[in-house]
Amino acid sequence: YQYLLITGIYVLEPWEKSLFNSILFSAIAMVIYTSYVFV
């Protein structure tokens, strides 16, 4: 709930929430992967 409220996607429609979450999590996955490779 806090995640929805702080990111503001609480007010979005379900498909928008899914879109936001997929973009966010793929970006996080990319950051983790690249950091791992880099380190």
Partner 1 sequence: MNSRGMWLSYVLGIGLLHIILLSIPFASVPVVWTLTNLIHNLCMYLLLHTVKGTPFETPDQGKARLLTHWEQMDYGVQFTASRKFLTITPIVLYILTSFYTKYDRAHFVVNTVSLLTVLIPKLPQLHGVR
Partner 2 sequence: GRTASGDGSLYTRPFVESFEETPMLVAVLTYMGYGVLTIFGYLRDYLRHWKIERCYVAREKEEQKDFVPLYQDFENFYTRNLYMRIRDSWNRPICGVPGAKMDLMERTSFDYNLTFEYTGRVVPDVINLGSYNYLGFAENTGPCADSAAEVTMKYGVGVASTRQEIGNLDTHEEMEKLVAKFLGVESAMAFGMGFATNSMNIPALVGKGCLILSDELNHASLVLGARLSGSTIRVFKHNNMQSLEKLLREAIVLGQPRTHRPWKKILIVVEGIYSMEGSIVRLPEVIALKKRYRAYLYLDEAHSIGALGQRGRGVVDYFGLDPCDVDVMMGTFTKSFGAAGGYIAGKRELIEYLRSHSHSAVYATSMSPPVVEQILTSMKCIMGEDGTTIGCERVRQLAESTVYFRKRLRELGFIIYGNNDSPVVPMMLYMPAKIGAFGREMLKRNIGVVVVGFPATPIIESRARFCISAAHTKDILDRALSVISEVGDLLQLKYSRHRIQS
Using CA atoms, how far apart are residues 27 and 20, in angstroms rounded to an integer? 11
Q: Does 21 bind partner 1 (CB under 8 A)?
A: no
Compute φ and ψ for 13, nearest 5 degrees: -80, 160
What is the distance, to the nearest Å, from the Cα of residue 29 to the centroid of all Cα atoms in its chain?
A: 9
Question: For partner 2, which is the closer residue by CB, 13 or 38?
Answer: 13
Query: What is the DSSP-derived secondary structure letter of residue 8?
Result: S
Q: Does 5 bind partner 2 (CB under 8 A)?
A: yes
Note the residues at the interface with partner 2 (CB under 8 A).
1-2, 4-13, 16, 20
Note the residues at the interface with partner 1 (CB under 8 A).
27, 30-31, 33-35, 37
